């Protein structure tokens, strides 16, 4: 077996519309309805879109994690541009930064990151990739 890439991930949330609004308004993701009224969030440039599916904690789509729980995720999202611009945007939107900017190691090398929380308490890391000659191994 040879894995190629992560296609999508699922967040279990308490309130799908509230989560859609936060990810749309704060992070600029594009909501999408698919299937039988399911909800996803898209981001990234055309042809390279990434997707997060949202499942309601009250009625998660089966099959699902053994214990789908809002607020149990820890995500790292790479950004375009300098982390300072993200800090300014978050401040303009009244979003609290929990930590950062700090140096971390991502899948492809060094990162400069800030951390914040979504409405369910999930930890969201926004990361600027730094130039590297080696490969990373996670946070």
The catalytic residue positions are 125
- Which among 123, 124, 125, 128 has a CA at the least distance from the CA of 109? 128
Q: Torsion angle of alpha carbons 51, 41, 91, 80, nearest 10°?
A: 30
| Alpha-carbon distance values, 94 to 48, 84, 89, 127 (Å) | 29, 15, 9, 19
- Which among 31, 11, 32 has a CA at the least distance from the CA of 23? 31
């Amino acid at each position: 077996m040879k894995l190629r890439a992560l296609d999508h991930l699922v967040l279990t949330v308490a309130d799908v519309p509230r989560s859609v609004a936060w990810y749309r308004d704060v992070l600029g993701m594009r909501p999408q309805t698919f299937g039988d009224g399911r909800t996803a969030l898209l981001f990234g440039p055309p042809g390279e879109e990434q997707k997060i599916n949202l499942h309601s904690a009250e009625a998660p789509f089966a099959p699902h994690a053994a214990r789908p729980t809002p607020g149990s995720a820890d995500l790292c999202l790479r950004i375009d541009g300098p982390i300072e611009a993200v800090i300014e945007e978050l401040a303009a939107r009244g979003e609290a930064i929990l930590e950062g900017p700090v140096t971390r190691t991502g899948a492809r090398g060094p990162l400069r990151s800030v951390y914040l929380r979504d409405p369910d308490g999930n930890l969201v890391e926004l990361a600027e990739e730094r130039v590297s000659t080696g490969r990373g191994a996670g946070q």
